[in-house]
Amino acid sequence: MTPPALARLAIHEAAALLASGGASSVELTQAVLERIDAVDDRVSAFVTVTRELALEQARAADARIASGDAGPLTGAPMQLKDNMCTLGVRTTCSSRMLEDFVPSYDAAAARRLYDQGAVLVGKGNLDEFAMGSSTENSAFFPTRNPWDTDRVPGGSSGGPAAAVAADECMFALGSDTGGSIRQPAALCGVVGLKPTYGLVSRYGLIAFASSLDQIGPITKDVTDAAIVLNAIAGYDPRDSTSINRSPPDYTLALKGGVRGLRVGVPKEYFVDGMEPGVEKAVRDAIGTLEELGAVVTDISLPMSPYAMAVYYILAPSEASANLARYDGVKYGFSAQDASSMWDALEKTRQHGFGPEVKRRIMLGAYALSAGYYDAYYLKAQRVRTLIRRELDAAFEKIDVIAAPTSPSVAFRQGAKMDDPVQMYLNDVFTQPANIAGIPAISIPGGMSEGLPVGLQLMAPHLGEPTLLRAAHAYEQATQWRAMRPPLVPNG
């Protein structure tokens, strides 16, 4: 196969080719690196490209394949979002605060992938410390959408989603705090899965909001999402929130179809202000599920509209505590032109953090301050409980929820940077799953204005098998997975 054709392969396609001897992992990795060279000057999906490490890992993967000890991820080129620690490889969180930080250990999810023989081609750009919905808040440069480089890829995992869509890696890991895997996956026309909270270890994930953060795969199709989830799911005693239960083989859940599956469609997810093309595409996608035999029912989730308010109290509150560690003393950026310890601390945080991170730290500090804790933080925790109970009750009558991932297609660069509230509204449909800790997936569900639309499916706690079965059935019945962005190589 030619290098462009190799770079386009999904994980399961590449595994079959490698097993048959039709290509080597080195050839596959070189093809992906050539693709990065050809298009990333326009996409800007990578903070760091690990060329030498990738080729070294690819040679090790080829030896492993030759010995008969290969798995489905052996030799597969991947990108990791740059808020996951990687031993000896710079991990920046796309922030000046950690611009030169090189971890001394690997994140648990990264190590699990290495153990499977996956190949790291680089670290993905993101909104600084994962705070944003467009990857324009990176301290280094914005990432652009491969479908239209004048538009955003979504965020905060915009680099990983754009890289997968542009064939600059075979798959990526992102993190999802309020939609940061699913929303960019929707805007870039790929698959993004947020697992149940605690299913994937957060050890080595640089924290934003610890009770909401979760690592998950961004892939070219649903089969690949199941393959990657198999590798990264499982108990880790180093993460106090890790679920102590052996996960199933998620690839076995892909078969069976959706006949008889109970699908709930919440009216609160079809709101004023949603783009008409997005609503039509999602309703058509739900119609396809019904044609496949699913039992579609309209439902109401009246607590859902409060999810955004809850999120923007809880997440900044946790961020303000987590980011207190960046004080210019232990590691990271440190202001040198200071007259005292307190002046150094102030200047370090003034110059090390960008505007959005500062905004959220201040929001969180206010919500946690004396006199406001009960009125904001404590009340938000109570409403969080109500949202979780409402979803639990809904799942007693239905198997999955179907809804839009984002209220719009990818918007133009700079269009919402001066209006934080409009930017925050991009995650209005994704935040409830994080607040409740349930799994959710975004899959390509149509097109509007020549740009991808995401269909979001949600399932109850540890309901990934049902979620993947429904997503796979829809994917196989439609043509959207075959759509590619019109991004041609340089020259």
User: Is 240 assigned a catalytic role?
Assistant: no
pLDDT for 78 equals: 98
pLDDT for 111 equals: 98
Sequence-separated (6 or more) residues with CB below 8 Å from residue 372: 366
Indicate whether 85 pLDDT > 60. yes
Question: What are 359-397's pLDDT values in tens digits?
Answer: 999 999 999 998 899 999 999 999 999 999 999 999 999
Question: What are 419-458's pLDDT values in tens digits?
Answer: 888 898 889 999 999 999 999 999 999 999 999 999 999 9
Q: 6-20, 143-157, 177-191, 338-352: lowest mean pLDDT where?
A: 338-352
Average confidence (pLDDT) over 168-190: 98
User: Is 210 assigned a catalytic role?
Assistant: no
pLDDT for 210 equals: 97
Question: What are 252-301's pLDDT values in tens digits?
Answer: 999 989 999 999 999 999 988 899 999 999 999 999 999 999 999 999 99
Q: How far is CA 314 from CA 197, 353, 470, in A?
A: 16, 20, 31
pLDDT band at 96 (very low <50, low <70, confident <90, very high): very high
Amino acid identity at 201: S
> Contact, 406 vs 278, CB < 8 A?
yes
> Contact, 265 vs 298, CB < 8 A?
yes
pLDDT for 158 equals: 98
| Spatial distance between the Cα atoms of 179 and 423, rounded to a whole number of angstroms | 13
pLDDT for 454 equals: 98
Catalytic residue among 24, 44, 81, 134: 81
pLDDT for 341 equals: 83
Indicate whether 491 pLDDT > 90. no
Catalytic residue among 25, 94, 180, 242: 180
Question: What are 7-52's pLDDT values in tens digits?
Answer: 999 999 999 999 999 999 999 999 999 999 999 999 999 999 999 9
Q: What is the mean pLDDT of the chain?
A: 96
The SS3 call for residue 276 is: helix
Q: What angle do CA 484, 487, 490 make, to 5 degrees?
A: 150
**Pair type for strands 215-219 and 191-194:** antiparallel
The SS3 call for residue 188 is: helix
Catalytic residue among 95, 156, 242, 320: 156
Give the percent of the chain with pLDDT over 70. Answer: 100
The SS3 call for residue 123 is: strand
Domains of the chain: 3-257 (3.90.1300.10)
pLDDT band at 120 (very low <50, low <70, confident <90, very high): very high
Question: What are 209-227's pLDDT values in tens digits?
Answer: 999 999 999 999 999 999 9
pTM of the model: 0.97
User: Is 123 assigned a catalytic role?
Assistant: no
